[in-house]
Structure formats: C-alpha cells, structure tokens
Homo-oligomer: A and B are copies of this chain.
Amino acid sequence: MATKVNGSSGKDLDGGAVTILDLARELRLSKTTVADALAGSGRVSTETRDRVRELAEKWGYVSNRAARSLRTRSTGALGLYVPPTVRTAPFYMEFALGGAERAASAGFDLTLFAQRPARRRDFGVDGAVVIDMSAADELPRQLVAAGVPVVAAGRILGHEGEHAVIETPDREMAHQMFELMRSRGARRIAFVTPLHDFAVAWAVDVSEAYVAWCGQADQEVLMRSISVAATDTELAAAIDEVVRIPGVDALVLAAEGWAARAKPMLTAHGVDVGGSFQLGSLAGDPLTDGADAAISRVDLGARAFGVDAFDLLLDILSGAADRAAVRVHPARLVPASVHPGAARRDD
C-alpha cells in the first residue's frame, strides 16, 4: 500500500486507484472526516472540507462504485427491458434514449437487460422499466421477486396491480383515428393488427377499439392479423387482401412503419393514397410513417414516453409514488394533410 504521492498527477503509478484512505493519510485526518468532507455532510469545518476536496481533485479521486453500493445497498443504475421481437423498431430506440436521458439527469446509469437473463441473478439495478411485455415473459416477475421496483410501460395483461404502470390512451387514440377517417368521408375502414404474435396490451387495446368502433359505426369488421416483424412479402399479402375487399376506402395499420411501407404497395394497386383512399398508422413516429404527410398517424411520443416512464420509476424510488401507481402518457393524433394533388384528381 504505497502512499499516493508524485504530486501533480491524478494518475497513480502503482495501479490502484486513489481511495479515501489515501487522502486521509496524506492529510492526517481520519477516513470518517474525509468521507464527510467529500459527501458534504455538514459536520466538517469549511477549511478541512476545502483541503480534502482540493487534494481529491488533484489526485483524481473517484468514489468506488462497488464499495459504495455494498454499503448503501443501492447501485446507481436503472434497468430497461425491451422484448426481442420489436427491439429494432425506432419507437423503442426513442423510448430507451428518453429513458437514458431521464435516468442520467437523476444520476443513474441505464442498464439494458439482455434477452435471456440467467436463471437467477442479482440484477444490479435500483429499479427497472419494462415495455410492451407479453404476459408470458418471466422477467417482470423475477424483478418483482428480487425486490426491484418495476414500471411496466404498457400494462402486462393479467398482471395488473403487481407493479406500477404507465400507458398511452390506446383505445381512445384508435377511436379518434377511425372517427377522423369517417369525418373525411371513409365508408369502409380496414385494419391490420400485429396481434398474431404480439399480443401485448397495446395491440389488444387497439384491436378491440377497432371492433368496438365497427359495431358502433355499423361497419363490417375488416381485420387482418400479421406478424409484428412482417416482411414486405407478408405485408404485401395483407395489403392485397384488403384491396380486394369491395368498397374499402381507408386502411389503418397498427404497428410502426407499416403504413409507410404499405403506401407504395397500395399505389402499385392503383390506389390513390391521400386522395380517395385514406391511410393511417396507430404508431406513427416522425421518423417512419410521419415522414409522409399523406398518412394520418397517432404519435405516441416515444421519447417523452421513455422520459415519463423513468420519471415514474424515480418517483417510486423516492417514495413520491406508490409501487402500484398507474399513470397515463399522452399521445396525439396527427391527421394527414389533404394535399392539392389529391383534390385535383377528384375534379
């Protein structure tokens, strides 16, 4: 245990990092006093505090995370789990980054959980957010069992009340979309859902909202279900089917990016998208579906959603919110702009 010297440099030449004990020895103070000076707990005289801080700065002292964590039983990290199937969608990226931002602003790191967590483990986080989890996924349960506070972004079907939840008003937004299209003249609205292999609360909600709206609008249910990770071929097949249904003059696609991908397919069928035919996305962020003004979309505000989810988690950690709190994250409907070209064609 060589004394840290070599004055000016913060870099230690003997391999070990600078510790509180190193500072204490040099300043002829106790560990306690140095720790207090560093922590800023009022017990220490201003002069001592300044001496300690000066040397700490000079020697490049950084508090050892593991030691602190062992003592305080907190890790300084928050976890995020995104289900494997949808990982690559921009929506989740935005969400994750919003979350990372919020976590960082509170001094926490963000740990991305891997798809298949080891059997039993120390998660190494003070709390976790999970998003769009299927009821079958075991991770939320494991987290709760390990005593980790959990926020589910999108409730987990059949597990309500087991943890906190933050949700977008999915049924309401879907309803608004259908109403918008009808107000713009749509008579028969078809709907494509990822319920096929993505039966999470959001997908169930919007699908049920469609069926409910059909009942209320006295319209036949024209729903197709495809994989949330549908290839162009699969998507095109669904589009083909829809186009063949007589009288369909509007199509709402649930999942992110589907509308933008469907548009050229519709156009290839001679459909006048944005003109006599309306196209909508229920998860249309600015990057994908939003790039095309001919598409009406529900913007779920992915980034802000991530911020809000971690906000809730932080509130739970601070005691400001209940472990089973439920919050709503607002979404907004962005109607397609009725463009001149479309109008002209109607003339």
Contacts and interface: CB of A to CB of B under 8 A. Distances in A.
Given A64-B122, A92-B93, 6 more contacts: A11-B145, A88-B93, A90-B90, A104-B116, A261-B291, A264-B292
Interface stretch (A22-30, A70-78, A205-213, A220-228): A70-78
Given A64-B122, A69-B66, A77 B114 contact: no
A261 B288 CA distance: 9
Interface in A150-202: none
Most buried by B among A77, A90, A124: A124
Given A93-B90, A93-B92, A145-B11, A112 B100 contact: yes
Copies held by the complex = 2
18 contacts: A60-B120, A62-B120, A62-B121, A62-B122, A62-B146, A63-B122, A64-B122, A65-B75, A66-B66, A66-B67, A76-B124, A77-B111, A88-B94, A90-B93, A96-B112, A104-B115, A111-B111, A260-B291
A107 interface: yes
Q: How large is the interface on A (under 10, 10 to 19, 20 to 34, 35 or more residues)?
A: 35 or more
Interface string A75-92: 111000000000110101
A109 B124 contact: yes
A232 interface: yes
Interface in A280-320: 287, 291-292, 303
A80 B232 CA distance: 32
Contact of A111 (B11, B67, B110, B292): B110
The 9 closest A-B pairs by CB, nearest first: A104-B114, A66-B69, A93-B93, A66-B70, A65-B122, A110-B112, A65-B124, A62-B122, A87-B97
A249 to B, nearest CB: 22
Contacts of A120: 60, 62
Contacts of A121: 62
A88 B87 contact: no
A232 B287 CA distance: 10
A101 interface: yes
